[in-house]
Amino acid sequence: MLSESELSRYSRNLLISEIGEKGQEKLKKSTVTMIGAGGLGSPALFYLASAGVGHIKIIDSDMCELSNLQRQILFKTNSVGQPKAWQAASTLKDLNPEIEIISVKKRLTPENAEELLAYSDIVIEGSDNFDTKFLTNDICYFLKIPTIIAGVVRFEGVVMGTRQGDDPCYRCVFESPPPSKSVPHPSDSGVLGSVAGFAGCMQATEAIKFLISQDEDSIFGHVFSFDLLKMDFRKTKITKNSNCPLCGENSTIDENSLKAKANSQSLDFSI
């Protein structure tokens, strides 16, 4: 049941026919794990918390830097030098003390990923590197946890959703991490803060739709790509790849092989 303060706090949600009190109670009972509290994670976390998602876990091992403030809107100048996970949790608790925030100042690795991601209703991935995206996809596949993965650079971005086991997984589209330096990276090519914000807001919205069981017309089973410089948007339905090394007919990846490939030094975080 929603308390009187929650009925007031979420009154604009309750007016939406697709949400209402029943949907708001679903949000209150839900657990979302956010990987990375940076350019994507900041807006996503703000809107998940303000919408009333009852349990939010933030995984980020980084310290806040001055260059982060251009896009990572969870932080202020006095956050510089502080752990992002802890600063993010503090900001979100100030925003909404009605919810539970769990902050984890750790890198996601093959050794700890299963423990950190287990029992999530959905996982949102907001890192700036392919190793973490593939690890998130793989672990969530074995745990059967829906995932929303995004990436941005300059004015462009991609968002993909997978209900693991039902939809094509991340490896169905991108079989393996590309060679280092073969694709543009925000640290080299830049990223406009509002572009990261656009993608993060989309991740939060799609997660909320899923949690309230409104995911028929959703990102799941699709790749949404955009170029905000050209105002070009494209939603593409994807199909399972029978040769996918993870979910294909003759898969080569299992939980043991993931742990054997442990390389925590290559796993970095927020955009």
Asked if 202 and 224 count as a contact pair (C-beta separation under 8 A), the reply is yes
Quote the CA–CA distance of 38 and 64 in Å, as a whole number: 9
For 166, phi and psi rounded to 5 degrees?
Answer: -100, -40
- Identify which of 121, 154, 106 has the alpha carbon closest to the alpha carbon of residue 27: 121
Q: Kindly tell me if the per-residue pLDDT of 249 is higher than 60.
A: yes
The predicted structure's pLDDT at residue 226 = 98
Asked if 156 and 271 count as a contact pair (C-beta separation under 8 A), the reply is no
Asked if 125 and 133 count as a contact pair (C-beta separation under 8 A), the reply is yes
184, two tokens: 């543009």
Model confidence at 148, pLDDT cuts 50, 70, 90, reads very high
The predicted structure's pLDDT at residue 203 = 98
Q: Which domains does the chain have, with CATH numbers?
A: 12-266 (3.40.50.720)
Place of tokens 């980084």: 62
CA distances 267 to 91, 132, 135, 210, 271, Å, are 25, 6, 9, 28, 13
Global confidence as pTM: 0.92
